[in-house]
Amino acid sequence: MSANPQWDISRALGVARFFHLVCGVRDACVTPFLTLYLRQLGLAAPWVGILMGTKHLISAFWAPFCAFLAKSYQKRRVLLIGSLLGSVGASLLMVLVPPLDRDPGYRSCNGSHSVTATVPPPGVALTVNVTSAPEPAPNHPAPSLPAERSTGVAPADGFRGGPGESGQEPFSRLPSSFVGSIQGTRTTSRVLLHPITSRVKDTPQEGAFRVVSPALPLLAGGMALASPSNQSAAEGKAGTLDLSWEGLRWTFILSLGSVVCWELLTSPLEQVADDSLYEYLDFVDATDRYRSLWIWRPLGMSAGVCGISALVGQLDCFLTTNGPRGAVHFYGYSLVSTLALLVSIAFPVPVCRRWEPSYKMVKALSLVGGDPRLITLALTVFLIGTATSTVQNFLFWHMKDHESSELVMGFSVALGWLGEILLHPLKTPLLRKLSRVGTVGLGLGCLAGQLLYFSFLWSWWSVLPAQILSAISHGALWWAVGASIEHLATPGTERPLSAMFRSHFYGGGASLGSFVGGFVVMRFSLAVLYRACCVVLLLWLALFLSIQPRLPQERKINYSKLLAVEASDTSDSEQGTERDWLVKAMRDEHSDWRG
């Protein structure tokens, strides 16, 4: 280690706490709501799944590679500053992506004559109650909504036309996001609507109309609008998604480019910051204080997700006049990223000597391949990533189908993080009482229960009770995984092994879950996806618990015998490797077990 300035541990820990807090707020501004914004752009579930799968795949492999390069060339601070600076611009690219529907309809900002409209994927076929006054005489054109331009009626991209779906009065004067027809007077007709939620408020009069739709489905059709089981269904009989490039090429390609650019700039930040801080504290033998820093990121996430949700409803209409809602998320992300950029200037980064090649990641990979217990743990983490990605990608879609506000969505996320923080004092007693394997089983069971519960949501508030279980299905589960990794790792491979599990295995599972989940939602429904994930987790849980007793168990080291041998050794002249008798004993024990 070369000469360093005065080591101020208290100052370094204070800066690190604030940096983690700000980064938590920053991530909470966009990450939980990204798929909801992509839905508002008009992208269907398969395309959103492809985008999120690509995002997870980049993060799984690009972040460790950048961390390796930053350490090799001693450019960690440059990478931190460049990542934060680049993410500011990359996040704003998403605001520039044009939605599929350039005329999304009215926004609920003006009070009277308002329509609350959010653009879902094309191909929404619904049955709604449409009350219309008698048609005017042929010589008198039907009146239109005040201050609304005439756009005519043309089938929305992706709709499969059917009988009675032609543009007739009085709907010929509706915005292009409304497509439908009405026959006769004061009848109920099958109407194709684009918005997720549509309320046309007007005084019933000659030629006026009223669209009553308390909640519109997520994707394609269904038979009963009010049926919860019909939410998020994608049934070809009622309407199909046009997956051709005709209507999607620009929106999807620009979204893909923005997400890829954004993830390439953002994903290395967390791992590089963690590695820098750990090595900084390790140099002064203060790594025990590193473990207490984790709490600041979930605190920031909890505050950020609620704060940005409250701001969206108040500021979105003032900041944007066209396009989908949600731009406030990206503006907030950019603003908080600027604050994090200022904090990163003072973030503790160790000044290292000439870099020496290290093969710890290769050793960690070989350790996983040679240990059956680590193999089963890796498969468990992979399945956790697969199942969790379906919740992260589509739970807010499900809540939106039940008319949930973004504030409730944000509170549901914060509830899970706060539950994990409150449960943390019980971490050690829980692991001691249930053991590592038992805690992993408990976490998998709670995650499966959450998925099953989410498949039967009946109201916007019904998601909140299940989110309390996130303290176990996420918090306790990862505590047990981390404790198992530390127990099974050889000296010097704990951190590389932990990083491999969180990036490669968990990220790979999340990528696969996103790719597959989107097409399952389109072909079947979101409820089917959650139930399928629940069944897979329960089957793996039964297999995981049944094979644990049959796996080779480590032989316990007799520490009392080693201490007796050390005490009986009266020679004070022996130095070198024999001095580290405990490390040597552990290495010999691991070699004997593998042999």
Query: Which helix (DSSP H) or strand (DSSP E) does residue 396 occupy?
Result: helix 372-401
Residues 6+ apart with CB under 8 A from 224: 127, 230
Task: Verify cis geometry, omega within 30 degrees of 0, for the bond prior to 348.
Answer: no
Segment 332-384, tens digit of pLDDT: 999 999 999 999 999 988 876 555 556 777 888 888 888 899 999 999 999 99
Q: How many residues does the chain have?
A: 595
Closest CA to 141 of 164, 170, 165: 170
Instruction: Please provide the average confidence, as pLDDT, over all residues in the chain.
Output: 74
- The C-alpha atoms of residue 464 and residue 461 are separated, in whole angstroms, by 6
CA dist 591 to 483, 490, 508, 554, Å? 21, 10, 30, 11
Rounded Cα–Cα distance for residues 320 and 330 (Å): 12
Using alpha carbons only, give the angle 260, 25, 91 rounded to the nearest 5 degrees: 25
* Contacts by 189-193, CB closer than 8 A, 24 or more apart: 189/130, 189/164, 190/125, 190/126, 190/127, 190/162, 190/164, 190/165, 191/126, 191/127, 191/128, 191/130, 192/124, 192/125, 192/126, 192/155, 192/156, 192/159, 192/165, 192/239, 193/124, 193/126, 193/128
CA angle, 56 as apex, 50 and 59 as ends, to 5°?
140
d(CA 269, CA 19): 11
Q: What is the pLDDT along the chain (595 residues), one digit of tens a residue?
A: 444 445 678 888 999 999 999 999 999 999 999 999 999 888 999 999 999 999 999 999 999 999 989 888 888 999 999 999 999 999 888 888 888 765 544 444 544 333 434 444 444 444 344 444 444 444 444 443 333 333 333 333 333 333 334 333 443 333 333 333 333 333 333 333 333 333 333 433 333 333 333 333 344 333 333 333 344 443 333 333 444 455 567 889 999 999 999 999 999 999 999 999 998 888 888 888 888 888 999 999 999 999 999 888 777 666 655 556 788 899 999 999 999 999 999 998 887 655 555 677 788 888 888 889 999 999 999 999 999 999 999 999 999 988 888 999 999 999 999 999 999 999 999 999 999 999 999 999 999 999 999 999 888 889 999 999 999 999 999 999 999 999 988 888 888 899 999 999 999 999 999 999 999 999 999 999 999 999 999 999 999 999 988 888 754 444 444 454 444 444 444 444 444 545 555 555 554 444 4
Contact 144, 173 (CB under 8 A): yes
Give the CA distances from residue 366 to residues 27, 496, 586, 592, in Å, rounded to whole numbers and listed in that order: 33, 12, 18, 17
Asked if 241 and 158 touch (Cβ cutoff 8 Å), the reply is yes
Calpha distance 546→271 (Å, rounded): 35
- Structure tokens, 594: 């593998």
**Residue 127: strand pairing partners:** 190
The answer to whether residues 40 and 119 touch, using CB atoms and an 8 Å cutoff, is: yes
Q: What span, in angstroms and rounded, lies between the C-alpha atoms of 303 and 28?
A: 8
Helix (H) or strand (E) holding 169: none
Q: How many CB atoms lie within 10 A of CB 167?
A: 17
- The upper half-sphere exposure of residue 263, i.e. CA atoms within 13 Å in the direction of its Cβ, equals 21
Q: Residue 212 carries which DSSP code?
A: E
